[in-house]
Amino acid sequence: MAENGRVFRANLVQKQGQKAGLTYSTAPQVSWALNQLYPFLIIFDGLLNNLMWCCDDIWLPFIYLVLLTMVVNLGEVLDRYSNIIKALVASWLGLMSLVFVVLSYLYYISSVVHELKQEEPPTLDDIVVIMENVHYKLERMRDDVGRISRIRKRELASLVLILMPLNWLVSTYMVSTQSYVKFLVTAGLIFHSSWCQCTLRLVWRSLFVRQVFFALYKQQRTTLSKDPISDHYTVIKDALDVAVPRELDLLDDLKHAMRLKQFVCEAISNGCDQLKGDPNYHWVKVLVVEYRIYENQRKWPLDGWTHNTLTYERTKYSTGQGSTLSRSLSPWEFQESLSPDWIWIEDGWKPHEWEYCDTEWNIKGPVDSLDCYTRTRTWVRSAFQSLPEL
């Protein structure tokens, strides 16, 4: 006890670590299963760290890369080396590399299991953190592989037709099968390294590389629309009932269209049910649509945002749904080409806010940032057309 009469006691409650809500909200069976799964998660996370070059020792993935290359080289020893001494040395290096890789990973597994037995049992927060790490790394690897699955069937067929003869020529006349396998193993192991990713990004900055790539895959290539009218609009009301005064039929076509637009707007906003049975009105059906034209721009280092997009990208103006976009006229050129039986509801086109995107036109948000290289906005305008009476 202190001299001033105050009593000091040890604070045994730790403010960091496991959250009470997670403990009480998790069933005991689930907690036990996660505790049993924890060693496997640590081992699998260590494997992913080496595959993605994000472990603490940056030289460890490189050492494994060299060892696995020597192991793959073991298959071509007899074909490559005619000298028996060189073949024995290469075989010894390959076998020792294989033994070292297997023993090192077995030692890592035994060390993890031994340390977990010596330490306190993990909390649920520890298990959740390691699960999130594994999930994030698997998501990154899935995104890299998922680019192939996003290729359309026609593009995939053309790609296979191009790569099959090339693959046959390379594996038959240029390199051996073992060298080809070694190249694939090496490429797969170094793909996620930081220097490989930086090199790929630098190569991707070349306009020639992009043009060749998209010429083979033919992704996001825009074409002229065969049916420009139907590609531009979205149906709002397919058969809207509009009450029209009978004296409106006595007006000429221009005045009739202007007055009819007023009643269509009232029918869209308020409806015309209160006029049913009124002998002074007759009913017509109209098709109400909304025209959408997308304006696209790309950001350049010196010029800023301009309509000068790449040859394989979206054009200055485009239309369509999703990834199937077609080249379009500007909104003002398009309205001049529209047939006279369509009547505009608004007096002019209304632009939406810019949506900023990455290099593949994936929307990032309404604000420009360092990872935004393209942007798009939508010009909209509604119109209607009288449907023929049945």
Look at 39-43, 168-172, 293-297 and tell me which has the smallest mean pLDDT.
168-172
- 8 pLDDT exceeds 50? no
- 379 pLDDT exceeds 90? yes
User: What's the average model confidence in pLDDT over 365-387?
Assistant: 88
Domain boundaries, the chain: 153-217, 228-386
Torsion angles phi and psi, residue 245, rounded to 5: -60, 145
Convert the pLDDT of each residue in 51-109 to its tens digit.
888 887 878 888 888 888 888 777 665 555 556 777 777 778 888 888 888 888 888 88
Instruction: Please tell me the predicted confidence (pLDDT) of residue 289.
Output: 83
Torsion angles phi and psi, residue 116, rounded to 5: -70, -30
Convert the pLDDT of each residue in 314-353 to its tens digit.
889 988 776 567 888 889 988 888 887 788 888 889 999 9
CA distance linking residue 149 with residue 142, whole number of Å: 10
- 17 pLDDT exceeds 90? no
The token pair at 61 is: 């993935």
pLDDT-based confidence at 282, cuts 50/70/90?
low
Look at 87-91, 199-203, 380-384 and tell me which has the smallest mean pLDDT.
87-91
- 37 pLDDT exceeds 50? yes
Convert the pLDDT of each residue in 117-161 to its tens digit.
887 888 787 888 888 888 888 888 887 776 655 565 666 666 677
DSSP classification of residue 5: S
**Rg of the chain on CA atoms, in Å:** 34
CB-based burial of residue 340 (10 Å sphere; 0-12 exposed, 13-18 middle, 19+ buried)?
A: exposed
- 250 pLDDT exceeds 50? no
CA distance linking residue 241 with residue 271, whole number of Å: 8
Instruction: Please tell me the predicted confidence (pLDDT) of residue 131.
Output: 87
- For residues 242-266, one letter each, b for 16 or more C-beta atoms within 10 angstroms of the residue's C-beta and e for the rest, the string is bbbeeebeeeeeeeeeeebbebbbe
For residue 263, which of 365, 345, 165 has the smallest C-alpha distance? Answer: 345
- For residues 161-198, one letter each, b for 16 or more C-beta atoms within 10 angstroms of the residue's C-beta and e for the rest, the string is eeeeeeeeeeeeeeeeebbebbeeeeeebbebbeeeee
pLDDT-based confidence at 168, cuts 50/70/90?
confident
Contact 376, 292 (CB under 8 A): no
